[in-house]
Amino acid sequence: MPFFLHFSAVFAQINLIPNAEIAYIKTKMGSQINSPHFEGQPIVSPDGKYLFIYRSGHPQNVNYTANKKDEDIWFAELQRNGTFGEVKNMGRPLNSAGNDAVIGISGDGNTLFLYDQYSTSLGGVKSLAISERTATGGWSTPKSIQIKDFAWTDDVAWMYMSADKKILMIAYTDWTTKKGFGQQDLYVSFRQADGTFGTPKNLGRKLNTSAIEASPFLAADNVTMYFATNGRAGYGNLDIFVSKRLDDTWTNWSEPQNLGNQINTAFWDSEFCLTAEGKTGYMSSGGVNYGENADIFKVEVKESARPEAVGMVFGKIINKKTNEPIAAEIAYADLTTGKNIGTAQSSFDGSYQMFLPKNKNYSYTAEKEGFFALSETLDLNNLQTYTKIEKNIYLVPIETGVAIQLNNLFFVRAQATLLPESEGELERLLDMMQKYPKIKIEIVGHTDNTGNAFKNKELSLQRANKVKEFLIGKGITNDRIRSKGMGGAQPLADNKTEETRKLNRRVEFVILEK
C-alpha cells in the first residue's frame, strides 16, 4: 500500500469511552499469525471461525519475485481449542500481481468481498470485487462490482462490506467532487437493486475532521462503527475511535470516543474488526508509515463496551417432502415495512446462518426454483444480548395435491381484514401464480374451535376469499382460484392452549393442477 504521512492532532483532552482502562484487553497474536513481515487489515468472519489478513513482502506471496512488497491474502481457521491455526496463503485466483486484501465476508460465510485488483491490467484499485465459495470449498474468480461516481486515485484508502452485503463503508479522498471535510473522509455506499453500489455519501462533520479518517468497520448491528483517525485527540499516529449511528440519515452520529490506551499507542493503530457477538476483536498495530512492520493483535471486549445485540439464526434448508437438506438462497425482510434487508446463501449441504440486528420483526424465506417456501417470522424487538437461534426452513415442491400453508398472513383478530404485514406473503403467492401460469389452486381457511362453529366456518371462508380477491386484483383469472372455509374441522393441534390454537388458525392453498 502507499506511503502514509504521519500527522497528529493535538488537543487538550481525549474523549475516552467509559471505563476505557478495563473495557478492552489487547494481546499480540503469536507466530501462527504474525511474522517478521508486515501483517495488516484483519477481517474476521461474523461467526469468528475465519480470520483474513494480508501479508506484505512475504516470500510465499504469488508475485514476490517481481515485487518484493507484494501484498497477498492469507487466512486462518479457528481450532477446537479456541485459537487460530497457522495462516495460509490463499493463492490464486484471489491473490494476483496487485496488492490484494479482503474487505468483508458475508454472514453466511459464502461470499468474500475484496479490493478489485482483478479487472484491469493497469494495476490499482478501481472498485470492489466479489468471490463466491465453490462446491469444492475453494473460491471463484473475483468479479468486479461497480460503485457509481467512485474514483480511487493512488492515495491510501479503505473499504469494508457489512455482513448483510448491503452497506459499503469507504475511507478515501474524493478528488471528483472535492467536497470532503479533510485529507480523507468516511463515506457510505448502498447496494442497489441491480447489485451495483450507489454514489458514496459523506458521513458528515460529526465524524470527519480536517485530517485523516481511515479503516471504517461497521459492526453486525449496522449501528456501531469503529474507525481510525489522526484528527482527534489521541495517543499517537492513528487512534481507533467508536461512534453510533443515531438515525437513518447516516450523517447523524454520536460523538466519537477514543478506545483508550489499552488499544491505542504512540504508533499506528488501525483496522479494527469484531465478531458479530462483539466479544472478540482484531486490529493492526505498530510502525508509522502506513503501519509498516505492523502486527495483528487480538482484543477481548468486555460486555459493557460491545455493540448492540444481534441474533445469529442458523439451521438447515429442508425439502418438506423428502426431509432432505437442499441448497437455496434465503431472503429476509422487515416484516413491518416489507423492505428487503438482505440475503444469505446456504452451503451445498443446506446449512445456513445469518446475523440479524435487534429491534426488528423479521420475515424470511428460502428461494429455489420448483419450490414454494414456508415463510418464517422472528421477532427480535426485545433482544438484549447476542443470541443463537436454530430454525430450519422448509421448501415444499410445487406439485399437484400438495397443501402449502401461508405462515405470514395476518388478520385482525376475529375478522377477515388483512394486516399490512401480510403483503410479503401475498406477493410470494402472486409470484408463483405468475411464474406457473397453468397452476390452479384452492385457498382454504381454517380457525380454531372456540366460539360458534357456524361463524367460524364463515370467517374462515371470508379470509380465504380475501386472499383470492388479492390475486384477482393483481390479474390472476378467476378460473384459476377456488376458495373454501373449513372452520375448526381440520385442526393441526389440539385446542387446549392459546399456543396450539394459533397453529389451527391458518390459511393454506392446495395445488389442484400444475
What tens-digit pLDDT sequence spans the chain (514 residues)?
333 444 444 445 999 999 999 999 999 999 999 999 999 999 999 999 999 999 999 999 998 888 888 899 999 999 999 999 999 999 999 999 888 999 999 999 999 999 987 776 555 567 899 999 998 889 999 999 999 999 876 667 899 999 999 999 999 998 777 788 988 999 999 999 999 999 999 999 999 999 999 999 999 999 999 999 999 999 988 999 999 999 999 999 999 999 999 999 999 999 999 999 999 999 999 876 666 779 999 999 999 999 999 999 999 999 999 999 999 999 999 998 888 888 999 999 999 999 999 999 999 999 999 999 889 899 999 999 999 999 999 999 999 998 999 999 999 999 999 999 999 999 999 999 999 999 999 999 999 999 999 999 999 999 999 999 999 999 999 999 999 999 999 998 998 898 888 889 999 999 999 8
- DSSP element (H, E) containing 462: helix 453-473
Spatial contact of 257 and 242, defined as CB atoms under 8 Å apart: yes
| Cα 224 versus chain centre, distance | 14
- DSSP element (H, E) containing 143: strand 143-145
In DSSP terms, 25 is beta-bridged to: 300
d(CA 209, CA 111): 33
Residue 389: strand, helix, or coil: strand
Looking up cell 392459546, which residue turns up? 498
Q: Which three cell numbers stand for residue 337?
A: 415495512
User: CA 343, 345, 347: angle at the middle one, nearest 5?
Assistant: 165
d(CA 275, CA 50): 10
Nearest to 508 by CA among 364, 409, 415: 409
Give the CATH number of domain 399-514.
Answer: 3.30.1330.60
Using CA atoms of 324, 329, 334, 340 in order, give the dihedral in degrees to the nearest 10. Answer: -160
Spatial contact of 176 and 200, defined as CB atoms under 8 Å apart: no
d(CA 185, CA 132): 30
Q: What is 20-305's CATH topology?
A: Tachylectin-2; Chain A (2.115.10)
Amino acid at 431: D
Nearest to 129 by CA among 153, 154, 147: 147
Amino acid at 445: G
d(CA 139, CA 424): 34
Determine if residue 389 is left, alpha or beta; phi over 0 gives left, psi from -120 to 50 gives alpha, anything else beta.
Answer: beta
Using CA atoms of 275, 278, 280, 283 in order, give the dihedral in degrees to the nearest 10. Answer: 70
Spatial contact of 181 and 199, defined as CB atoms under 8 Å apart: no
Write b or e for each residue in 410-425: b if 16 or more Cβ atoms lie within 10 A of its Cβ, otherwise e: bbeeeebebeebbbbb
Residue 452: Cβ within 10 Å count: 10
Class of domain 309-397: mainly beta
Give the C-alpha distances (Å, rounded to integers) separating 408 from 84, 270, 287, 405, 466.
Answer: 42, 44, 55, 9, 14
Q: Which three cell numbers stand for residue 42?
A: 484483519
Amino acid at 459: L
| Cα 113 versus chain centre, distance | 12
DSSP string across 257-317: EE--TTT--SSBEEEEEE-TTSSEEEEEE--SSTTTT-EEEEEEE-GGGS---EEEEEEEE
d(CA 282, CA 263): 11
| Cα 213 versus chain centre, distance | 24
Q: Directed axis angle between helix 423-435 and helix 453-473, to 10°?
A: 60
Annotated domain spans of the chain: 20-305, 309-397, 399-514
Secondary structure in 3-state letters for 174-212:
CCCCCCCCCCEEEEEEEECCCCCECCCEECCCCCCCCCE
